[in-house]
Each structure stands twice: as structure tokens, then as C-alpha cells.
Structure 1
Amino acid sequence: MPFLKWAGGKRWMTARHGWLLPARFNTYVEPFVGGGSVLFHIRPKKGLVSDLNVDLIDTYKAVRQDWKRIEKLLAKHQQLHSESHYYKTRSLRFAEPIEEAARFIYLNRACFNGIYRVNLKGVFNVPKGSKDAIVMPDDDFEELAKVLRKCRIVAQDFEKTIAAAGVGDFVFVDPPYTVRHNNNGFIKYNQNLFAWQDQVRLRDCVKAAAARGALVLVTNANHASVRDLYKGMGIIHTLDRASIISASSEHRKTSSELAITVGYDARESGRQPMRPLKVDAESDSPR
């Protein structure tokens, strides 16, 4: 259901590890929304989603506002799609929010591996990819808009977003990974975006949210430093996945990531909240 391809996206997790998600909660809170895989999988009745990427947030707002026009503009991009159209569109910015959102989606679908990268001037500079499909057969912007209308969507720092979570809210935290792990090379896209100090600040925000009664799921790099960072806060699960950050499929490797549940035990029947949860346990073979 997500309409964006996003580096580090969690479609694989929702497909294979949905058991990690709590069965019931109040407000859904996501401070690093990215491609929105978990958001669109859960389809919450009420949500707060944010990201520091203003262009991304404006795109979500535009889909929520006028999905029909987004579809029409994408169809036009599909008709015009070529190498020259891609680079011409990449060099433009539109003052009108809906047109700019359609540009963002077009570039995401036409660029190399769906990578979002800007230069020092903040200009998107990812080269054209090899795929030519811009309009997808499973596109359903009308349903996406319905989900987004139930959410408050803001561009802000994760600390402010997590601070809004209270008793019974579910916080899904998927930050940029800042530790190289299992040689999948993903870190090189993030090391300048999210420093280790941010990881520590994030851990403190997660701890405070759980103390307020929120249920928190953190995904992060499978690395000793991350395990130490969250030691004693919740239950650590190790999830295997295939890395997609490679130009060639034969060089893509199986890697693993951590999923840390804080404030609830996903392994319990029915996934009921268990507070307070002060267990330091690891599950390397999740259901």
C-alpha cells in the first residue's frame, strides 16, 4: 500500500513480523515516517506522524488534500517519462503544493533504488534508475488519503513527536541507522544525518514515553552498541532481512536488524500491554 520506495523501509517487517505490533492502542505515533509502511499497514483510527524531511511531509499533506489530482499528474509524468524528462523534472521546483508532491513521487519512482539524497545545497541529486513504471497497478491513493486524513502530519524533530505520546499510545520508532552492521552498506546513507548523540537522545525519549505508559517499538542496527544502549529497557528481537542497497541483486546480502519492544511483550498471547516491563531479554527466533 505505501506509494513511496524508501531506503530502510519496513514493508518486509509488516509482511513477516506483524506479531511485533500491539493488538490495541490509542493514538499511533511515528517520528520517522519515511515511506510509511507501518502506518499504512496499521491504518490507525488516530495518528501523529512526522519527519524532518519537509518535502516528504508536504507530499503526504498533498495526497491527503487532493489525491485525484496527484493521480492525474503522475499519469502525465508516465506519458512524458524519459531520461530527458527525468533530469528536467529533477531540476525544477513547483510553487504549487500538489504539483510539487507529484514531482516528488515521480522522482522517487524513477530514480535509482528510491534513494532520497540531497547535496550540500539541499538539491535532490539521485540519478535516473532503470525502471520505467511510474503509475503502478496497485496504486490506491484514495485509500491512502483516507488513512492520512486521520493523522496529524508535521515536519519536526523526533523528540517533540515522541513527547506527545501518552498512556496506551503506540510509538513506532525507525531512525536512520548510524552503525555499520552485517556489511550491508546502508550506514553510508545515514551517518551524516543521525549522529550517535541522536541515538542516545532517542533512547532517552523512548524511556520517557514508556514511563508515561506508551507502548514503543524501536527498530535499529543489530550492533553491540545498540544492544547496550537499550539494555534493561525492553525485549530485544533479532530479525533477518535482505539488504536492498546495492546496484546489483547478486551483491545484495541477508542482514539482520533489532526490534526492541518497550512497555509490552509482543511474544505474549494476544500481545497485551505489560506495564511496568523491566525485563532485559533477547529473542533470536521470533515467531
Structure 2
Amino acid sequence: MNYTFLKWAGGKRWFVNNESHRFPLRYNRYIEPFLGGGAVFFYLQPQNAILSDINKELIDTYVAVKNEVDAVYRNLKIHQRKHSRDYYYTIRDRKTRTMATSAARMIYLNKACFNGIYRVNSQGKFNVPFGTGREVSFEQENLLQSSEILQNAMILCQDFQATIDMAQQDDFLFCDPPYAVVNEDARFVSYTADIFSWNDQVRLAAALERAKERNVKIIMTNVDHPAVRALYENIDGFTLDTVSRSCFISGNKEGRKAYSELIVTANI
């Protein structure tokens, strides 16, 4: 059962469906520093987890679903009843006053926007256009189950390096960073380069090397780019693999094709 309540660009539902054999069978804590839609977390349903992201609106939404799920659902039902193109833009421009209404706003916009993309402008305002005139619906039982699974998680808004540095021996660290590379092609970069730079890729590699030395179990997915591969391929203890996956985020057919993805593991 899929208990993710957000569709996220670059999400890892494909990884769960095709690469779940890579997950370790035993580990202490599950740690994820780039939470996004949380597909891997909701698939594994770990008994002890640390989840984080630098996106405060995203993290506040998870906290609200964990702690105030009934209030979130009540607001989602209002959005479901009033859904239309005009209503979508009204909600997109509206400021919210409580964590529950903010979470419901984000979940609704994510459901109703074009391609489920999270993107903000230079003022930090969500600016994805309306996506569907069809009815939107929200399953109460699924949201309640998501809330139940989140009860076992510490949810933090912080830089990925701080979260990775929390990982200790036999913890399982799953990293799915935004894809930014040196000499980027157009893939993914238009909505990630401003929040995840090449310097961040270098910081990530250094943090993962330190975690590897602490005997943390690591799986990282990343863009299969020579510059990214070079950060890991000459370090003892990292195993590099590539898989092919489809990308459906692009607004044109040319962008919707299969891509090679890099998987880096250690201590698995």
C-alpha cells in the first residue's frame, strides 16, 4: 500500500518498485536527509526514523500530518468540495495561519497542480499552474495510516549534512539529493540548482564518506554524471551501480524518456 500523500519530482516510487532488494534487512534507525515524498520511508515503515529536509513548508506538512491529522483532513475535504480552476489560484495565493491549514494547502496544491511539481519563485511563493479540472479526492484511511507510520519518526528541518552526521553504526541512511551537477544539462536542474549546488554535491560526498567510516549502511541515488561518479569511484568502500529509469516530469514528450541513474552503496 502506498501511504505517501505528496507527489514529488524525482520521487523514489520507482526505486521501491524495482530496487527494493537493495534495502538492508536489519538496521537500527532509518535516516533520510532529503525527505521529499517519502516513498522509501513509507514502504519500509521503520520502527525508528529520523526524517529531514531543508524545505520548511514540506517539513511542517509532515509534522501536521503526524500530530494533527484530523484537522488536516477536515481542511482537505473543504478543498475537495470547492475545487476548481479559480479556487486553485485563490488557495495558491492565500496565506495560512495554522500548521494544519498550511499542510492541507500544500497537499491540495500538490494534488491539483501541473504534474505534482513543487516550485517556488524568487519570493518563495508556490507558482506551479493549475493542472487538472477533474475532481480531486483525499482518502482519509490512507492519511490516517500515514500519520500512524510517522509516529515513529523524528522530523527535522535542517541541512542534509547535519542529518547525515547524526547517523551511527548500523543505522540505514537513504539519500536522494536534488540533481545538480557541473555543466548541467536541462534535466531536473531548472528547479533544483538554486537549492542544491555543485558545492552541495561535494559536501554530500564528504558527509557520506564520514558516515561510511562510522559503519553506517548507505544507499544513495544520484544523477549518473561523470563528475558525480568521480566523487565516489576512487574511495574504498563505496560500490557504484547504474540502473535505467523513466522520467515523466518534463512538460514535453522529448523530456519523458529513460535515463541512467547512479546508485552508490556502502556497508550493505
TM-score range normalised by the length of the shorter chain? over 0.9
Task: Provide the residue aligned with 2:24 in structure 1.
Answer: 22
Cα distance per residue 1:182-233 (max 9 Å; x no partner):
9672222212221111101110100111111110111100111111111134
2:252, 2:108 → 1: CA distance? 22
Q: C-alpha root-mean-square deviation of aligned residues, in Å?
A: 1.9
Task: Provide the residue aligned with 2:262 in structure 1.
Answer: 258
Asked if 1:83 corresponds to 2:79, the answer is no
Task: Provide the residue aligned with 2:152 in structure 1.
Answer: 150
- Could you state the TM-score of these two structures normalised by the residue count of structure 1? 0.87
Q: Tell me, what secondary structure is at the counterpart of 2:11?
A: coil
User: Which amino acid in 1 is paired with 2:262?
Assistant: L
Cα distance per residue 1:57-95 (max 9 Å; x no partner):
000000001222222221211110011100000001111
2:195, 2:256 → 1: CA distance? 23
Task: Provide the residue aligned with 2:175 in structure 1.
Answer: 173
Cα distance per residue 1:93-120 (max 9 Å; x no partner):
1111101110010001111111111111
Task: Provide the residue aligned with 1:10 in structure 2.
Answer: 12
2:173, 2:202 → 1: CA distance? 17
Task: Provide the residue aligned with 1:206 in structure 2.
Answer: 208
Task: Provide the residue aligned with 1:160 in structure 2.
Answer: 162
Cα distance per residue 1:2-52 (max 9 Å; x no partner):
110000000011011101111110000000000000110110000000000
User: Which amino acid in 2 is paired with 1:252?
Assistant: R
- Could you state the TM-score of these two structures normalised by the residue count of structure 2? 0.93
Aligned length: 264
1:53, 1:135 → 2: CA distance? 25
1:132, 1:83 → 2: CA distance? 10
Aligned partner (choices 63, 66, 72) of residue 65 of structure 2:
63
User: Which amino acid in 2 is paired with 1:223?
Assistant: H
Gaps of 5+ in 1: 265-287
Task: Provide the residue aligned with 1:41 in structure 2.
Answer: 43
User: Which amino acid in 2 is paired with 1:77?
Assistant: H
Q: Give the superposition deviation at 1:260.
A: 0.8
Moved over 4 A (4+): 136-139, 180-184, 248-251
Q: Tell me, what secondary structure is at the counterpart of 2:221?
A: strand
1:253, 1:181 → 2: CA distance? 21
Gaps of 5+ in 2: none
Q: Tell me, what secondary structure is at the counterpart of 2:50?
A: strand
Higher mean alpha-carbon deviation, 154-163 vs 255-264, is at 255-264
1:79, 1:48 → 2: CA distance? 35
User: Which amino acid in 1 is paired with 2:239?
Assistant: I
User: Which amino acid in 2 is paired with 1:79?
Assistant: R
Task: Provide the residue aligned with 1:230 in structure 2.
Answer: 232
1:180, 1:7 → 2: CA distance? 20
Does structure 2 conserve the Cα–Cα contact (< 8 Å) formed by 1:32 and 1:51? Answer: yes
Identity %: 41
